[in-house]
């Protein structure tokens, strides 16, 4: 077995030091703070306080992220399926040129765009009124949980679609052509032949999107800004308003557990798949 050389260790030492100083030390400090009481002794007081004050927000966060992830998967499958299986060249060209744009827009800019688009007197309602599809008195604001979901889905669909379309483009076209020759519709070919072959890529994209949406602060703060809200807003509020790092760190640990559960499901699926292979 080859031993690592001193020169190789020196090359990776700066990167390891940066990970240790900027990630591992703050992570360890946050975990220790979450499990420490005001007197310095080990305690679960921070978690009791977090549950008492923010249990509704924990459920709200799970609802927002799970629904957004499911919708992201559905839209990504639809767009990637059209890009791969459609026989309408102009539709594929237009869709391919448009779907990637949100990838280059930061979350905070996306949130500001949605405030302009989804407000009661925003672009969406004004367009419906101008087209005669809605009376001005019927206009309502979507700047609540619906706006958060719309923003998350709009931002994450291009990311998952990009991965999924690449995976679909690399599969054996003979299976697709065989299905079409046997009379299967494009929808049936997509669901029964294509999706099973790219399920692993779809799962990776959705897990990464889930963790990303769980950690975004700007969107729930700017789009909704009212109760209930997401855990990231609660953590910022405990620190900025009360300097309560212990409760904020307890909420952070709860976020770690949620993200870790999703990662465990993904790893378990991978292990089971490798065993079956």
Over the chain (277 residues), the average pLDDT of each successive run of 10 is 72 89 88 86 91 94 96 95 87 86 91 90 90 86 92 94 90 84 86 90 93 92 84 92 91 92 86 75
Number of domains the chain is built from: 1
What pLDDT does residue 4 have? 62
Say what the pLDDT of residue 51 is.
Answer: 93
| Residue 167 located in a structural domain | yes
Q: What are phi and psi of 172, to 5 degrees?
A: -70, 115
Per-residue confidence (pLDDT) for residue 48, from 0 to 100:
93
Asked if residue 14 belongs to a domain, the reply is no
In a domain, 11, yes or no: no
**According to the model, what pLDDT value does residue 52 have?**
93
User: Is residue 198 in some structural domain?
Assistant: yes
Q: Is 119 within a domain?
A: yes
In SS3 terms, the chain reads as: CCCCCHHHHHHHHHHHHHHHHHHHHHHHHHHHHHCECCCCCECCHHHHHHHHHHHHHHHHHHHHHHHHHHHHHHHHHHHHHHHHHCCCHHHHHHHHHHCCHHHHCCHHHHHHHHHHHHCCCCHHHHHHHHCCCCCHHHCCCCCCHHHHHHHHHHHHHHHHHHHHHHHHHCCCHHHHHHHHHCCCCHHHHHHHHHHHHHHHHHHHHHHHHHHHHHCCCHHHHHHHCCCCCCHHHHHHHHHHHHCCHHHHHHHHHHHHHHHHHHHHHHHHHHHHHHHHC
Contact 116, 222 (CB under 8 A): no
Strand partners, 36: 42
Here the tokens at position 199 are 């399920």
Cα atoms found within 13 Å of the Cα of residue 113, Cβ hemisphere only: 12
For residue 260, is it within any domain? yes
pLDDT of 39: 83
pLDDT for the residue numbered 3 = 63
The answer to whether residue 28 is domain-embedded is: no
pLDDT (0 to 100) of residue 77: 94
CB 203 within 8 A of CB 211: no
Q: Which two tokens stand for residue 249?
A: 């760190």
Residue 121: CATH number of its domain = 1.10.3720.10
CB 141 within 8 Å of CB 116:
no
CB crowding 57-78: b at 16 or more within 10 Å, else e: bbebbeebbebbbebbbebbbe
Number of Cβ atoms within 10 Å of the Cβ of 188: 13
Task: Examine residue 17 and state whether it is found in any structural domain, yes or no.
Answer: no
**pLDDT at position 99:** 85
**Cβ distance 189 to 85 under 8 Å?**
yes
Cα 239 from Cα 19, distance rounded (Å): 24
* Each residue's pLDDT tens digit, 183-213: 888 889 899 889 999 998 999 999 999 999 9
Give the domain extent around 109. Answer: 43-275
Full-model pTM: 0.87
In this predicted model, what pLDDT tens digit does every residue of 152-191 receive, in sequence order?
999 999 999 999 999 998 888 888 888 888 888 888 989 9
Residue the block writes with tokens 């744009």: 101
């Amino acid at each position: 077995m080859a031993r690592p050389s001193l020169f190789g260790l020196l090359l990776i030492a700066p990167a390891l030091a940066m990970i240790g100083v900027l990630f591992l030390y703050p992570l360890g400090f946050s975990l220790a703070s979450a499990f420490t009481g005001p007197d310095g002794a080990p305690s679960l007081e921070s978690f009791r306080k977090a549950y008492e004050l923010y249990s509704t927000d924990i459920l709200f966060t799970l609802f927002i992220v799970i629904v957004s992830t499911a919708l992201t998967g559905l839209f990504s499958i639809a767009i990637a399926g059209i890009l791969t299986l459609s026989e309408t060249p102009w539709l594929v060209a237009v869709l391919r040129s448009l779907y990637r744009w949100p990838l280059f827009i930061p979350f905070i800019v996306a949130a500001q765009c949605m405030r302009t688009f989804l407000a009661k007197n925003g672009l969406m309602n004004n367009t419906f009124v101008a087209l005669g599809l809605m009376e001005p008195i019927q206009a309502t604001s979507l700047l609540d949980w619906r706006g958060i979901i719309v923003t998350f889905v709009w931002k994450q669909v291009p990311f998952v679609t990009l991965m999924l379309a690449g995976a679909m483009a690399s599969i054996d076209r003979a299976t697709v052509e065989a299905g079409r020759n046997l009379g299967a519709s494009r929808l049936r070919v997509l669901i029964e032949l294509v999706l099973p072959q790219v399920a692993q890529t779809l799962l990776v994209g959705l897990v990464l999107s889930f963790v990303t949406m769980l950690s975004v602060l700007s969107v729930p703060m700017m789009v909704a800004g009212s109760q209930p809200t997401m855990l990231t807003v609660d953590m910022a509020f405990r620190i900025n308003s009360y300097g309560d790092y212990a409760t904020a760190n307890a909420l952070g640990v709860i976020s770690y557990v949620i993200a870790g559960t999703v990662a465990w499901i993904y790893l378990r699926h991978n292990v089971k798949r490798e065993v079956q292979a």
